């Protein structure tokens, strides 16, 4: 989970370095919300039992958990992110928009991980992402271990 937190922290700091108007209310709210979401991602998930999850291989489980983690983080800060993007658009901050696009490309994934993700049932991902356990940020390693 540390690598995920470092990645999100780099996103925040990169925005600070490139956005013209980092003092904007939208940027400050977005930055604060990402920090809050990152701190809540330390929430441990205990005794997770699910027939679909149990039917998966180890690599598929990891792909599923990474997907659920990403979805929960996006849910956590989506309002603030959308407000910040709207601000970038309305202020014609092309540098900030380009940096945002660059930083939001999918993170490095191995071919094996992409194949595992593509083999997952998208309806199951949606179902699990809407459960109380996975609808908010969580510690991936608490599930794996």
How many domains does the chain contain in total? 1
Instruction: Report whether 100 contacts 15 (CB < 8 A).
Output: yes
Question: What's the average pLDDT block by block, 10 residues per block, for the chain (145 residues)?
Answer: 50 51 81 93 87 96 94 96 94 91 78 94 98 94 82
Tell me the residue range of the domain where 46 lies: 2-144
The DSSP string of 36-91 is HHHHHTT----S---HHHHTS-HHHHHHHHHHHHHHHHHHHHHHHHHHHHHHHHHT
Rounded Cα distance, 72 and 118, in Å: 19
pLDDT at 9: 54
The burial of 41, by beta-carbon neighbours within 10 Å (0-12 exposed, 13-18 middle, 19 or more buried), is given as buried
Global pTM reads 0.78
CA gap 16, 33 in Å, rounded:
14
Q: Rounded to an integer, what distance in angstroms lies between the CA atom of residue 96 and that of residue 85?
A: 9
């Amino acid at each position: 989970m540390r690598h995920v937190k470092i990645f999100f922290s780099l996103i925040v700091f990169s925005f600070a370095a490139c956005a013209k108007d980092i003092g904007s209310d939208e940027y400050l709210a977005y930055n604060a919300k990402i920090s809050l979401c990152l701190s809540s991602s330390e929430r441990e998930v205990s005794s997770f039992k699910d027939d679909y999850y149990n039917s998966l291989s180890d690599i598929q489980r990891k792909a599923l958990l990474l997907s659920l983690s990403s979805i929960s983080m996006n849910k956590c800060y989506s309002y603030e992110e959308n407000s910040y993007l709207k601000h970038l658009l309305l202020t014609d901050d092309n540098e900030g928009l380009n940096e945002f696009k660059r930083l939001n490309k999918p993170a490095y994934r191995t071919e094996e991980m992409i194949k595992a993700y593509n083999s997952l049932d998208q309806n199951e991902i949606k179902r699990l992402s809407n459960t109380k356990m996975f609808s908010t940020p969580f510690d991936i390693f608490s599930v794996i271990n």
